[in-house]
Amino acid sequence: MLDDLIAAELRPRTLFEGDTDRRDRLMTALDEVNGKFGKFTAVPAAQGFRRDWKMRAENRSPAWTTRIDEVPLVRAD
């Protein structure tokens, strides 16, 4: 699946590709805002603002195998 990875500088350019440095700075700023204030705090307008769906986190399985602080503690008294 990852056989054809190439460096970003070597990838084919698109017809309408503009100032990539400006776009990269904008995406970095958006990532920083979202990292500080939470997901989807700031989004590009093209992404839209309405969310018709939400992840149902209550149905996820416990992360006991990946987060040692969530492993149940058992004591024999």
Contact 43, 49 (CB under 8 A): yes
10-60 pLDDT, tens digit each? 888 777 777 778 888 988 999 999 999 988 888 888 777 777 777 676 677
Distance CA 22, CA 27 (A): 9
**Side chain identity, residue 19:** D
- Is residue 9 pLDDT above 90, yes or no? no
List the alpha helices (DSSP H) in 1-77.
20-37
Distance CA 33, CA 27 (A): 10
| pTM assigned to the model | 0.44
